[in-house]
Amino acid sequence: METMQRRLRESPVITSVVSVLLGMLVGAIMMIAAGYNPIQAYQALFMSAFLMPYDIGETIRTISPLILTGLAVGLAFRTGLFNIGVEGQFIIGQLAAVIVALKMDLPPVLHAVVAVLAGALGGALWAFLPGLLKATRGVHEVITTIMMNFIALYLANTLVRNWLSQGADSTETIPESASLRWDLLSQAFGNSRIHFGIFIALATALFMYYLLWKTTLGFELRAVGLNPHASEYAGMSVKRNLIMSMMISGLFAGLGGASELLGTSGYLAIHGSHTGIGFDGIAVALLGANSPLGIVFAAVLFGVLTYGGPVMQFEANVPTEVIRVVFAAIIFFVAANVVRWMMSKFGNKAVKKSD
């Protein structure tokens, strides 16, 4: 009884599932408070993603970048790093990909591959500085990466305005040769914008699993995250691992940005504020307990909610922003480990009663 209770209390799956339900409860309360019907709203929300092949395709398209940004945040978390900079690395991934797509002339497939790799490299390099500063000068990565997010945003904007276009608000559309779209795939899903990004995302999840649990580097990354002092004592270089972790995390984020640009939008526009996909990655990673499989499932849930939001607004009249509230509540419940607290309260009562 005791061990089963503890196992339940410490299982990340239980924590995540209960947190999601609590989060949706908060959303329902918000809806009732504003005079909407939560049952109708949630029905529209979840049904919308699976109505037609087109919707399924679009939902998968929404999920793909969330998997990648979630993996990016999750990998850094494993080494004890909080990479809030995934948003900025995502933008640099987009920027590097669009530069290769527009400025280089390569045959089909190869062009797309080079553009994707450029995005990944860009993301990794953008994460290098925060990693270096953390390793050499002990500067907290949260602050540097937040600053780097804004620098990335303005850098992309100035390059789009002054170099990639002649003073316009967005670049031209990328050539067919660099696109990640595939007509057969798109047609199979009712001409939606689904693209190769989902395969990149799933392959990256597999890669993260392999890296963390099947390689020496991965072992070191996790060891540093669990106990940097012990790792140092065991002869691992904590500094090197911190920098590596940030760069691999940035690489995942860059892949997300590149595939989103080459697959979904096809051009880079000037943005007044951040895309939000990088920040959503934080929620995805937390909910997925930083495990590759958990992150994929969490991204599916967040993707379904994100895609379903506008449909819910249309059908049940509930503003889409209630989804953001649900996300926020889920983050709170996972972070504060409210579930474990509830179980310990509940568990103690049960034990007392049986006495």
Partner 1 sequence: MIDTLTNILQTMVLYATPLILAAMGGLYSERSGVVNIGLEGLMTIGAFTAAVTTLATNNPWIGLLAAMLAGIILALPHAVASVTFKADQVVSGVAINFLALGISVYLVKAMYNGKAQTPTVLETLDRLPIPGLSQIPVIGPAFFNAFPTTYLAVFVVFLSYFLLYRTPFGMRLRAVGEHPRAAETMGVNVFLMRYIAVLISGALAAIGGAGLSIAIGSEFNETTVAGQGFIALAALIFGKWNPFGALGAATFFGLAVALALTGQIFGLTNYVPSEVLNMLPYILTILALAGVVGRAEAPAAIGKPYETGGR
Residues binding partner 1 (CB under 8 A): 30, 34-36, 82, 84, 129, 133, 137, 139-140, 142-144, 146-148, 150-151, 154-155, 157-158, 161-162, 272-274, 279, 282-283, 286, 313, 317, 319, 321-325, 327-329, 331-332, 335-338, 341
- CA-based radius of gyration for the chain: 21
With CA atoms as reference, report the closest residue to 218 among 248, 257, 189, 250: 248
Nearer to partner 1, 82 or 213 (CB): 82
Nearer to partner 1, 83 or 259 (CB): 83
Sorted by sequence, the CB contacts under 8 Å of residue 2 that are 6+ apart come out as none
Task: Return the bridge partners of 269, or none.
Answer: 170
CB of 337 to partner 1, least distance (A): 7
Nearer to partner 1, 78 or 195 (CB): 78
CB of 151 to partner 1, least distance (A): 5
Q: Hey, what are 122's tokens? A: 């860009």
Helix (H, G, I), strand (E, B), or coil: what is residue 189?
coil
Q: Hey, what are 238's tokens? A: 């904590």
CB of 206 to partner 1, least distance (A): 27
**Residue holding tokens 């669990």?**
226
Nearer to partner 1, 206 or 230 (CB): 230
Is residue 252 within 8 Å of 90, Cβ to Cβ?
no
Phi then psi dihedrals of residue 140, to 5 deg: -65, 125
Nearer to partner 1, 57 or 308 (CB): 308
CB of 83 to partner 1, least distance (A): 11
- For residue 164, the one-letter residue type is L
CB of 321 to partner 1, least distance (A): 4
